[in-house]
Amino acid sequence: MKFFSIRHTISFCFCVGLTANAIGQVSPLDPKYSVSTRKPLIGAIVAVDTIILGGTIVTMDGDRRVIENGAVAVKGDKIVAIGKRADISKQYHAVRSINATGRVIIPGLINTHTHVPMVLFRGISDDLDLQEWLTKYIFPAEAKNVDEAFVRAGTRLGLAEMIRGGTTTYCDMYYFEDAIAEESKRAGVRGVLGETVLDFPAPDNKTWDAALAYSERYILKWKNDPLIVAALAPHAPYTVSTEHLQAARKLSDKLNSPLVIHVAETKKEVDDIKAQKGATPVKYLENIGFLNERVVAAHTIFVTDEEIDILNNRDVGAGHCPQSNMKLAAGTAPVPKMLAKGLAVGLGTDGAASNNDLNMWEEMDTAAKLHKLISGDPKVASAEQMFEMATIRGARALDLDKITGSIELGKRADIAIVDFDSLHQTPFYNVYSHLVYATKASDVRTVIINGRVVMLDRRLLTLDERAIKIDANLYHKKIIQSLRN
């Protein structure tokens, strides 16, 4: 939702271990492993780094193939083979095998909108209207607590939560975004990470010029990084002037970087923009030449049919955040219409202060049920459509669908392996139904991002869970104290 914020640095705990993998082979679990040093066993056998064996692969490719008793071979950062277990195990030999028998292998989930450090404000205040929530709690808490160390500690907590729930890519907007990028890179999580710029002093940059200069340095620093896409995030049409929105677009053109923005989130925003600019938010952004394929617009709740067409024609990505929108009683985006028109709309959690978690499984489930209820039609927002929004369509919204969002040859290996035998998943008839309506984040067992195993059998390999909790609880005390002062 919103935020505000401050500075110094906290040391990062990096965890590497040795353990037995799920199929019983003992292999080094250095998460930085890259290329196998083993030679192929015989001429016809190809050496790869990791093979996931057995299980049902939900590819989310163009044909929506679901492969029973399948296997996926990964070499370096890429998927090099997908098929039946029997065929893949004949042709490929891996340093590491992961047994997925009885499990489901899915593309890593894509969270198209959040403010990751805000996990440290989780539950700080609930059940209020937006203005009271923002002005009495969030803004003061941010003003008194947000600095670079806060952002780093919050990011590590959020990353751990996301990995545990099978999220492999997220789109963020906050302050000190370069620190968020560094933490994400270290943890091995893919991100489109937008530095928030707005017309008044922020925790990191006190003027517009300073914010733009910071953003340019930040974006250039991460150019061509395999995991991090550095972006510019003008906060919203009501917090950034026309002139500054145009300047942000110009900088984005120069650097070829995404533009992340909140759009049409509340009725008040629509009324204000209409009164001040003579057009509703999407039309206004179109009129001033802001929209293009690099724009990721969060919320897009109050949009007309014509505005959905504008977003579609400009190839804008949208981030639908059902739980945040419900909790703040903001409204409901016309998602079934967006899907029918082919818009690149994904799902997002929004910040944890307005959610209160980063759980994409709940977003899928909630989105399906919310749109059925609002439309009075249980046939809209099907389980398969919601899973698509959390994977390949979310990747499209972030302009990353060429590299992630599905399990396909040549794409980056962003994969989650999910248990399917818990009580709440028994019995099992339909894979999409189970993924959307029955599966919990705690059912995710193993997560691979860009070919690197970041969680194996529920054990985080790139983040220190214990240290993260200690840091978060220290902030809890500090935040409570700050609100008393």
Comparison of 2 and 164: residue with beta carbon closer to Zn ion: 2
Sequence-ordered list of residues with C-beta below 8 angstroms from that of 91, at least 6 positions apart, any chain: 44, 45, 46, 81
Q: Of 59 and 354, which has the nearer Cβ to Zn ion?
A: 354
d(CA 463, CA 276): 47
Nearer to Zn ion, 29 or 353 (CB): 353
Q: How far is the CB of 115 from Zn ion (least distance, A)?
A: 6
Select from 130, 134, 143, 223 the least CA-distant residue to 175.
143
What residue ranges in 175-249 does DSSP mark as E strands?
A: 190-197, 228-234
Q: CB of 3: closest distance to Zn ion in angstroms?
A: 8
CB-nearer residue toward Zn ion: 1 or 227: 1
When the beta carbons of 142 and 350 are compared against Zn ion, the nearer one is 350
Identify the helix (H) or strand (E) that includes residue 469. helix 465-484
DSSP bridge partners of 169: 110, 190
The contact mask relative to Zn ion for 301-340 (x = CB under 5 A, - = no) is ----------------------------------------
Q: Which is nearer to Zn ion, 118 or 400 (CB)?
A: 118
Name every residue whose Cβ is closer than 8 Å to that of residue 260 and which is 6 or more positions away in sequence: 171, 172, 173, 192, 194, 231, 232, 233, 295, 296, 298
Binders of Zn ion among residues 346 to 385 (CB under 5 A) are 350
Q: In the complex, what is the shortest distance from the CB of residue 421 to Zn ion, in angstroms, rounded to a whole number?
A: 36
* Least Å from the CB of residue 303 to Zn ion: 16
Instruction: Give the residue ranges of DSSP H helices in 322-430.
Output: 322-327, 335-340, 360-375, 383-390, 392-397
Question: Between 177-187 and 148-164, two packed helices, what is the crossing angle to 10 degrees?
Answer: 40
Q: How far is the CB of 388 from Zn ion (least distance, A)?
A: 22
Total site size for Zn ion, rule CB under 5 A: 2
Question: How far apart, in Å, are the Cα atoms of 109 and each of 74, 467, 480?
Answer: 18, 25, 33
- Number of residues assigned to the chain: 485
Stretch that binds Zn ion, among 133-141, 229-237, 344-352, 377-385 (CB under 5 A): 344-352
Alpha carbon 172 to its chain's center: 7
Q: Which residue type does 281 have?
A: P
Selected range binding Zn ion among 52-60, 69-77, 247-255, 342-350, rule: CB under 5 A:
342-350
Decide: 201 and 238 in contact? Cβ < 8 Å.
no
- CB-nearer residue toward Zn ion: 350 or 365: 350
What would the x/- binding string for Zn ion be over residues 1 to 20, using CB under 5 A? x-------------------
CB of 171 to Zn ion, least distance (A): 10
Q: How far is the CB of 326 from Zn ion (least distance, A)?
A: 14
Q: Which is nearer to Zn ion, 104 or 321 (CB)?
A: 321
Distance in Å, CB of 2 to Zn ion, minimum: 7
Write out the residues near Zn ion by the rule CB under 5 A. Answer: 1, 350
